[in-house]
């Protein structure tokens, strides 16, 4: 037995390892000359491929490759011209007082609106009413109520779907409405929503519900990868009510899993024309992912909303992903930070910023802005968690204040600037959300909403522990080693 084992090791050294090195060389040439990743990501990949050849080979095979990206998303890009004429019209009206609801919005924030129109075709809507959720039980109660009252169509798009109590409850409600003749479509991610078995969907499909999955997962034979995930969480009911935020569909998001309870997240329910922007996003994603009939931009999906004095909230729905030339999600974060005059409050479960985000936060803090970052006190992804600590340590020296949320798990992806604007959505503060995942955020230019979110942030501080330089310096050497190694490979995460 020992002889056989020794022969296998010799065979691996003589044949398999050289082959892996040769393939890694080809991967390295691809990274440098074809994919042209950022210098930081390129350096990290070259180190992984040559210093850890076997691990680097596996990582690149499942995570790194992107040289088919243009071909993969060519079909999707063909749909993304739908808003061009409307955007051109809004750009002319933005500074000409043609949109009276924007009288409370400063010219600086109007410049931000213009930027997002140019880079993301993000139309400005001003007749919106918003309800904020920070507890999954409240959010799903509202979503289920809206589903059960649906009369024409239901469009759900979620990164994660689990076969558990809330997953079954949601699909039971969807199945009931499908039986009643309502058009029901569910779009899940090919990795995050791959858990439920075929039997889970059988009653729903038999009732006439439609189902699609966005992009094959790492288990797919032809294209094994975990990148390019549809991380969005969007629900549109009858084109009139929309939900967007950080909650997926699973019991843990309702604090029913003791390991993560209580779960702290943020989402909003929207009524108004911003729902049309969410609807467009769903249709574009469905038409790319679905193998059935494409959804046409029919008036039934865009019924509009009744004018109401209570609906005066200006909003843009901003989407980003590897199919966008720029990074509109990251750019919106950068712009919000740059517009701050008093405070920047950030909540995120994952904090792996690039240099531009680091510089913006550092400069804001050095300018006397109250910059605060809140992240979980326990990891659900160890490498990402410890890498985040290393970036936080660097920002503390500039005056940024950071906190760990000790009351369960915080999954919210928010930024509140002064008492003027806020963003709530699916995008984390990490390179994956900026470059590799499909994300959607709602940016609200409203004093009242910003005040509410800021107050919720301050209440969260009561169950947080501040990360001080002294606290970080006192960490065991093993933890510091984890931070260093995790940061080294953070461009790959």
Partners of 139 in the beta sheet? none
| 201 Ramachandran zone, left/alpha/beta (phi>0; psi -120 to 50) | alpha
The H or E element that residue 244 is part of is: strand 241-245
Report cis status (omega within 30 of 0) of the bond before 262: yes
| Spatial CA neighbour of 474 closest among 461, 462, 486, 465 | 465
Is residue 487 within 8 A of residue 390, CB to CB? The reply is: yes
- Residues 6+ positions from 361 with CB-CB distance below 8 Å: 337, 344, 353, 371, 373, 395, 398, 400
Sign of CA dihedral 95, 100, 102, 106: positive
Is residue 339 within 8 A of residue 144, CB to CB? The reply is: no
The H or E element that residue 76 is part of is: helix 74-77
Q: Catalytic residue at 238?
A: yes
Catalytic hit among 231, 240, 273, 456: 231
Catalytic hit among 155, 162, 233, 482: 233
Catalytic hit among 37, 139, 240, 411: 411
Catalytic hit among 153, 162, 240, 413: 413
Give 13's DSSP letter.
I
Partners of 277 in the beta sheet? none
Structure tokens at 248: 């997926």
Q: Catalytic residue at 233?
A: yes
Catalytic hit among 127, 418, 430, 460: 418
Catalytic hit among 238, 252, 430, 460: 238
Measured between alpha carbons, how far is residue 402 from residues 364, 396, 405, 467 in Å?
14, 7, 10, 5
Is residue 136 within 8 A of residue 253, CB to CB? The reply is: yes
Residues present in the chain in total: 493
| Tally of helices (H runs) and strands (E runs) in the chain | 19, 19
* DSSP labels, 382-451: HHHHHHHHHHHHHHHTTT-EEEEE-SSEE---EEEETTTEEEEES--EEHIIIIISBEEEEEE--HHHHH
Measured between alpha carbons, how far is residue 362 from residues 171, 393, 442 in Å?
45, 12, 25
* Rounded-to-integer distance, Cα 275 and Cα 82, Å: 16
Q: Catalytic residue at 413?
A: yes
* Rounded-to-integer distance, Cα 465 and Cα 333, Å: 25
How many Cβ atoms from other residues are within 10 Å of residue 238's Cβ?
A: 19
Q: Catalytic residue at 418?
A: yes
* Rounded-to-integer distance, Cα 351 and Cα 385, Å: 8
The set of catalytic residues is 231, 233, 238, 411, 413, 418
């Amino acid at each position: 037995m020992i002889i056989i084992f020794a022969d296998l090791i010799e065979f691996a050294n003589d044949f398999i390892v050289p082959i892996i090195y040769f393939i890694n060389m080809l991967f390295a040439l691809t990274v440098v000359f074809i994919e042209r990743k950022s210098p930081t990501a390129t350096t990290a990949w070259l180190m992984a491929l040559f210093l850890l050849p076997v691990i680097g080979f596996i990582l690149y095979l499942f995570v790194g490759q992107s040289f088919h990206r243009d071909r993969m998303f060519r079909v999707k890009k063909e749909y993304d011209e739908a808003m061009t004429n409307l955007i051109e019209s809004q750009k002319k009206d933005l500074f000409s007082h043609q949109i009276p609801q924007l009288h409370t919005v400063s010219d600086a924030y109007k410049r931000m609106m213009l930027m997002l129109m140019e880079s993301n075709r993000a139309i400005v809507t001003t007749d919106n009413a918003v309800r904020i959720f920070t507890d999954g039980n409240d959010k799903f109660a509202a979503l289920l109520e809206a589903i059960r009252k649906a009369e024409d169509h239901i469009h759900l798009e979620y990164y994660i779907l689990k076969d558990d109590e809330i997953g079954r409850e949601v699909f039971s409600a969807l199945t009931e409405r499908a039986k009643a003749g309502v058009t029901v479509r569910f779009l899940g991610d090919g990795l995050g929503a791959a858990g439920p078995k075929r039997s889970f969907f059988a009653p729903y499909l038999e009732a006439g519900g439609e189902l699609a999955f966005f992009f094959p997962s790492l288990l797919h034979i032809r294209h094994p990868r975990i990148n390019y995930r549809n991380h969005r969480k969007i629900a549109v009911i009858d084109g009139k009510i929309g939900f967007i935020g950080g909650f997926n569909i699973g019991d843990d998001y309702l604090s029913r899993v003791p390991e993560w309870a209580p779960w702290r997240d943020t989402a909003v329910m929207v009524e108004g024309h911003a729902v049309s922007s969410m609807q467009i996003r769903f249709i574009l994603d469905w038409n790319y992912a679905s193998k059935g009939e494409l959804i046409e931009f029919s008036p039934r999906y865009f019924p509009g909303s009744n004018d109401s004095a209570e609906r005066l909230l200006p909003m843009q729905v901003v989407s980003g992903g590897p199919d966008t030339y720029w990074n509109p999600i990251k750019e919106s974060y950068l712009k919000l930070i740059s517009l701050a005059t008093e405070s920047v409050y950030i909540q995120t479960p994952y904090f792996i910023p690039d240099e531009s985000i680091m510089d913006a936060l550092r400069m804001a803090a050095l300018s006397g802005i109250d910059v605060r970052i809140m992240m979980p006190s326990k990891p659900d992804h160890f490498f990402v968690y410890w890498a985040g600590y290393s970036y936080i340590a660097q920002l503390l020296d500039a005056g940024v204040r950071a906190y760990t949320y000790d009351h369960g798990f915080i999954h919210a992806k928010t930024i509140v600037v002064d008492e003027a604007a806020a963003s709530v959505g699916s995008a984390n503060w990490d390179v994956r959300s900026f470059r590799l995942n499909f994300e959607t955020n709602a940016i609200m230019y409203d004093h009242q909403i910003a005040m509410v979110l800021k107050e919720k942030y301050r209440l969260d501080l009561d169950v947080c522990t501040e990360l001080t330089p002294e606290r970080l310096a006192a960490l065991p050497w093993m933890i510091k080693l984890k931070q260093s190694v995790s940061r080294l490979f953070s461009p790959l995460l």
